[in-house]
Amino acid sequence: MEKITREYVLRCLPRRAEDANKGSFGTVAAFAGSSAYRGAAALAAEGALRGGAGLVFLATVPDAMQLALLRTPECCVLPCRAGADGWLCPDDVRAGAARFAPGKAVLLAGPGLGEGAGKVLSILLGGDFAWKGCLLDADALNALAAGKAGAALLPENAVLTPHPGEMARLTGLTVAQVQDDRPGIARRYAQEHRCILVLKGSGTIVAAPDGTLLKNTTGNPGLSRGGSGDILAGMIAALMAQGLSPFDAAACGVWLHGAAADLCSARRSQQAMLPHDILEDLGMLLAEEGL
């Protein structure tokens, strides 16, 4: 199994032409957050913006929308009412998705959706909308595992980003079984479901439907906090929006996320660093490479 290298990442990352505009760098449509999980939506949106997407639209409930705009006023919003349970109103999810022309936006769904994720996925992947790419994370993965996504169809080459617990739920295995055979389980799942599988954790594995595996060597235990995965999901979606293949976007996003975390740990310590701290280090990392 080969490792993701700095040279591979630099070869894949897009350069910005002098005459570029926001339309040159694609659109991410993030459906995330709920009344209980506001931070997840804000972090996913900021990850997509810092990852270089030209436009990031966040469909979320009012409380999460307010937090996201305080952190990143550059984010566009698709306001969704919160139901009595605090989850996104399905009618507003449908209306938000209808804003995007077929094949023009990368879908990011899952962070912070909570128990409402199944209904959201049923709408977004139910066949009425055509996305440029698709990334599912967090609660979207749990909804798939529990069979709560109704008639949702997983698009070919969708990117799934489970941690070991989510991978266990997706496969019906225990976490220990997943950890005992991370490469084999990631490869089999990617092949069976025709998806890009990002199995997070120490030595994150990126698996393709053709059996290709890459292992990441950047990152550290300081990333072991809620919110780290939300930022990674946004970064990968942004790279897909800029034209990278789903596999290259996943591999590059994982490497950059980990490399930024390594810089951050030197600055903040693994103990005290927070997920949003690494976005500053991501900027320094990219600036050093002239990007």
**Residues 88-143 pLDDT 10s:** 999 999 999 999 999 999 999 999 999 999 999 999 999 899 999 999 999 999 99
Q: Is 40 one of the annotated binding-site residues?
A: yes
Tens digits of residue pLDDT in 32-48: 999 999 999 999 999 99
Cα dihedral 134/231/235/288 (nearest 10): -170
Give me the pLDDT at residue 241, please: 98
Instruction: Tell me what percent of the residues of the chain surpass a pLDDT of 90.
Output: 95
Give me the pLDDT at residue 200, please: 98
Q: Is 3 one of the annotated binding-site residues?
A: no
Q: How confident is the model at residue 156 (pLDDT cuts 50, 70, 90)?
A: very high
Q: Is 226 one of the annotated binding-site residues?
A: no
Q: Is 201 one of the annotated binding-site residues?
A: yes
Indicate the pTM of the whole model: 0.98
In the numeric block, which tokens belong to residue 148?
């709560």
Q: What SS3 class is residue 106? A: strand
Please, how many CA atoms are within 13 Å of residue 206, restricted to the half-sphere of its CB?
23
Q: Is 229 one of the annotated binding-site residues?
A: yes
CA distance 34 to 19: 38
Neighbours of 269 (CB within 10 A): 10
Which residues does 61 contact at the CB level (< 8 Å), separation at least 6? 33, 34, 35, 38, 80, 81, 82, 86, 88
> Which residue's entry shows tokens 């459906």?
31
Which CATH architecture does the domain made up of 24-284 adopt?
A: 3-Layer(aba) Sandwich (3.40)
Q: Is 139 one of the annotated binding-site residues?
A: no
Give me the pLDDT at residue 180, please: 98
Could you tell me the residue ranges of all domains in the chain?
A: 24-284
Per-residue DSSP letter, 115: G
Q: Is 204 one of the annotated binding-site residues?
A: yes
Q: Is 119 one of the annotated binding-site residues?
A: no
Q: Is 132 one of the annotated binding-site residues?
A: no
Tens digits of residue pLDDT in 192-242: 999 999 999 999 999 999 999 999 999 999 999 999 999 999 999 999 999
Q: Is 258 one of the annotated binding-site residues?
A: no
Q: What does the mean pLDDT of the chain come to? A: 96
Give me the pLDDT at residue 151, please: 66
